[in-house]
């Protein structure tokens, strides 16, 4: 019987942490979202005084551990398991952790910039920025691996999957046809991952 590879430690810890915080989030009051979701630079009275949040520096990271629904959490954790496990084995724990949170931070900065430009004052939650960074790395280092879309279930090589997904995200973000999803934050996670890879290529790799 073939041996099923175990989930690497950082990927496993991220999945457990995201799941535990989601459970905590379900029982918490609205102040939990106001404190730890990613809020734009400013606030809108139209949302009402009880719904307002204010930007705080820690939200650049904490937002990535919150999720809007169980489906949101499940899809992100599935992608984290699929792509993150392979990338962690390739990068090693410390470099993988640095890469993941570089994507998370880049996604947050992108979302803040877009929110400021568009005048949106709604909070952002979810690990998607980090996941999209991992997806980019997967497409670069395992370009010939086959990935199957969920809807529709079409198999394609990883490099093509990454390009198709990025184009879809850009289209949805520009046209605004899927409201309530931070498409530009997803693209920001990819950009952050790309910049991190370029930075590492110019420096010798440290031993893990």
In-domain check, residue 206: no
In-domain check, residue 1: no
In-domain check, residue 32: yes
Would you say how long the chain is, in residues?
A: 208
Contact 141, 49 (CB under 8 A): no
pLDDT tens for each residue of 80-120: 999 999 999 999 999 999 999 999 999 999 999 998 888 77
In-domain check, residue 182: yes
- The rounded distance, in Å, linking the Cα atoms of 96 and 166 is 22
User: Measuring CA to CA, how many Å separate 171 from each of 21, 53, 74, 120?
Assistant: 32, 29, 24, 19
Residue 146 bridge partners (DSSP): 157
Number of domains in the chain: 1
pLDDT top residue among 169 and 67 = 67
Q: What's the alpha-carbon Rg for the chain, to the nearest Å?
A: 17
- The rounded distance, in Å, linking the Cα atoms of 11 and 83 is 10
In-domain check, residue 208: no
Candidate from 41-45, 93-97, 180-184 with smallest mean pLDDT: 41-45
Each as own residue / partner, the long-range contacts of residues 53-58 (CB below 8 Å, 24 or more positions apart, any chain) are 53/123, 55/112
In-domain check, residue 131: yes
Q: What residue numbers bound the domain in which 102 lies?
A: 9-201
Q: What is the pLDDT of residue 207?
A: 47
Mean pLDDT of the chain: 86
In-domain check, residue 2: no
Contact 18, 76 (CB under 8 A): yes
In-domain check, residue 3: no
Residue 55, judged by CB atoms within 10 A of its CB (0-12, 13-18, 19+), counts as middle
Q: What is the pLDDT of residue 5?
A: 63
Q: What is the pLDDT of residue 159?
A: 92
- Kindly report the CATH number assigned to the domain that includes residue 94: 1.20.1540.10
Nearest to 85 by CA among 141, 29, 23, 148: 141
């Amino acid at each position: 019987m073939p041996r099923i590879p175990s989930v690497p430690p950082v990927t496993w810890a991220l999945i457990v942490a995201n799941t535990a915080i989601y459970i905590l989030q379900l029982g918490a009051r609205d102040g939990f979202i106001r404190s730890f979701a990613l809020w734009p630079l400013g606030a809108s009275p139209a949302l009402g005084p009880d719904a307002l949040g204010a930007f705080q520096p820690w939200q650049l990271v904490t937002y990535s551990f919150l999720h809007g629904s169980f489906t949101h959490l499940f899809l992100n954790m599935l992608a984290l398991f699929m792509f993150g496990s392979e990338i962690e084995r390739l990068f090693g724990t410390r470099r993988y952790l640095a890469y993941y949170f570089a994507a998370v931070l880049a996604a947050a900065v992108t979302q803040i910039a877009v929110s400021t430009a568009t005048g949106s004052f709604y909070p952002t939650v979810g690990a998607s920025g980090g996941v999209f960074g991992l997806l980019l790395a997967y497409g670069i280092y395992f370009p010939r691996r086959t990935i199957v879309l969920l809807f529709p279930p079409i198999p394609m090589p990883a490099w093509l999957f990454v390009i198709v997904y990025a184009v879809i995200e850009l289209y949805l973000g520009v046209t605004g046809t899927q409201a309530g999803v931070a498409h530009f934050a997803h693209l920001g996670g990819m950009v952050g991952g790309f910049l991190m890879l370029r930075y590492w290529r110019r420096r010798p790799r440290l031993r893990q």
